[in-house]
């Protein structure tokens, strides 16, 4: 009986440790999904393949064509940011920035 309980605990711990963290970087998602790309694919190449939900950084207003250094996926849409600080600010309260864009 004790062996069954121990095995159950080990199985439960193994399952709980196997959870994948939520990804907030669409660049990594795109690079992982594109199996035809070479191993030397750059961040800029991956960014050119992304379709952004809006054409500007929702936090500071910078156009995505001026340069994106970070991305996130929110409600199935990709948002680009000029800096990690803008992304962090967006992730604190995405709805604040999404309702402001309308």
Distance CA 79, CA 9 (A): 41
Q: Say if 46 falls within a structural domain.
A: yes
Q: Say if 14 falls within a structural domain.
A: no
Q: How many domains does the chain have?
A: 1
Q: Say if 29 falls within a structural domain.
A: yes
Q: Say if 68 falls within a structural domain.
A: yes
In angstroms, what CA-CA distances link 76 with 7, 24, 40, 53, 96? 39, 11, 27, 9, 17
Tell me how far apart the 2 most distant CA atoms of the chain are, in Å. Answer: 65
Range of the domain at 45: 22-100
Q: Say if 52 falls within a structural domain.
A: yes
pTM for the model: 0.56
Q: Helices H, strands E: what count in the chain?
A: 5, 2
User: pLDDT, tens digit, for every residue of 48-91?
Assistant: 678 888 999 999 999 988 888 889 999 999 999 999 999 999 99
């Amino acid at each position: 009986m004790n062996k069954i309980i121990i095995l159950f605990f080990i199985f439960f711990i193994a399952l709980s440790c196997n959870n994948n963290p939520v990804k907030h970087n669409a660049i990594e998602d795109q690079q992982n999904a594109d199996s035809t790309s070479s191993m030397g694919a750059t961040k800029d190449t991956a960014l050119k393949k992304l379709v952004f939900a809006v054409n500007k950084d929702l936090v500071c207003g910078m156009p995505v064509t001026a340069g994106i250094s970070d991305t996130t996926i929110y409600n199935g849409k990709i948002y680009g940011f000029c800096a990690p600080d803008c992304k962090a600010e967006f992730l604190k309260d995405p709805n604040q920035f999404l309702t402001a864009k309308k």
